[in-house]
Chain A
Amino acid sequence: MRLMTHNVLQCNKKGVQNGFPLIIKATSMKYEETPFDKSFVSAMIPKIEYHALLKAVSEVQQCPNIAGMDKLGSLPVLPLAMPANPDEDEDFLRRLHTVLFDLSMLEGELVCPESGRVFPVNDGIPNMLLNDDEV
């Protein structure tokens, strides 16, 4: 599960008012480089909840095991606020690309910030299925 995917996920358990963003508790992640497409990343910006992404990156830093990190060196640092003209800032777009598409969670849990409901992630696949009594 890429961090872009995490950026659109919410907890929809019955009664939860604000189940976004889910807290990332990752035990295993991977970095895998994909081709940078400037116009694609740039067009994606309006869909991103930037503060949730910053929070996700800080949570990923706690992950003890990120496969392929030797190729990346260190996690890209994103500015605290979105640049004024992100479309023209290629350095920023490259970092954004890496964070959104090239960092994936393999094992761990996503936790609802309101209810504490845990959504397990195994083999890169989050289980968002609610029980009958939760819908």
Chain B
Amino acid sequence: MLDDPEPACPPPDWACRIVQAGTARVGLEVYPPSDDTFLLLEALASDVALIRARQPLTCLEIGSGSGVVSAALRKIFDGAAYGGSPMPLMWAVDKNPAAIRCTAGLLREQQVPRADVLRGSLTGFLRPNVLDMIICNPPYVPTDEEEMQGCGISVAWAGGRRGREVIDVLLPEVARVLAPGGLFYLVCIAENEPEEIIALGGALGLRGEKAKQEQRGMEELFILRFLKD
């Protein structure tokens, strides 16, 4: 967490430059790229064949923060190593105005094509079934209610009771805006009870499984992958 700003593992090689560029922008008001960010990037890179086979046209990152994940997606889609495929229309949303500035600046600097940035909370402002892919590294740290308030940096990690308060609201929202056949990637930790999150997703038509599970620093991190039938 933030008491320990040095990540336990380095970012994956292919994303190093984007991570550096993103880290340089964040300042004190935005959550910097960290172990959870890097594991999410690794999960997306491992899934590159699966992601590209589905040919997503639209992708949303919820809580984009520094913008590193959204910007790195460009490499997932048209990195020479993967043979190239069209970059989907990329949307990035965050509550924190400082995060929005970071994300917008990084996407512009990294020349990510077809990307738009919005300020907002979750996905209530979107029509149903419009997304083919959703990525979210939500606030998952168990905290009290107070830390969840406002739009500052604490909303980047404060997840309330069991760290689940945002995740539990997010799941039905994702089920509403994800198109059939769409993919959803979610970061969480052991304290959030990933098995229970997978079961909740299942009841909403989101078939989930663990794409990654690793101890990084103080956290046992999970990347869950859901597929909407």
- Cβ of B12 within 8 Å of any chain A Cβ, yes or no, is no
27 example contacts (A-B, Cβ-Cβ < 8 A) are as follows A1-B116, A2-B114, A4-B89, A5-B91, A8-B58, A8-B126, A8-B127, A8-B130, A9-B125, A9-B127, A20-B127, A39-B86, A40-B57, A43-B55, A44-B89, A47-B58, A101-B89, A123-B104, A124-B117, A126-B118, A126-B119, A127-B119, A128-B118, A128-B119, A128-B125, A129-B119, A130-B124
Say if the beta carbon of A37 comes within 8 Å of chain B: yes
Q: What are the interface flags for B75-119 relative to A under an 8 Å C-beta threshold, 1 for contact and 0 otherwise?
A: 000000000001001010101000010001000000001101111
Q: How far is A40 from B89 in the complex, measured between Cα atoms in Å?
A: 10
Separation of A39 and B121 alpha carbons in the complex (Å): 32
**Which residues of the other chain, A, contact B100 by a CB distance below 8 angstroms?**
125
B92, chain A: closest CB distance, angstroms: 10
Are A44 and B57 in contact, CB atoms less than 8 angstroms apart? yes
Interface residue? B120 (CB, 8 A): yes
Across chains A and B, the number of contacting residue pairs, with CB separation under 8 Å, is 71
**CB interface residues, A 55-103, toward B, < 8 Å:** 101
Residue numbers in B under 8 Å from A40 (CB-CB) = 57, 86
In the bound complex, residues from chain A placing their C-beta under 8 Å from that of B130 are: 8, 47
Tell me whether A10 is interfacial, beta carbon within 8 Å. yes
Report if A17 contacts B (CB, 8 A). no
CA distance A127 to B126 in the complex (A): 13
Assembly CA distance A106 to B65 (angstroms): 22
CA of A57 to CA of B125, assembled, Å: 21
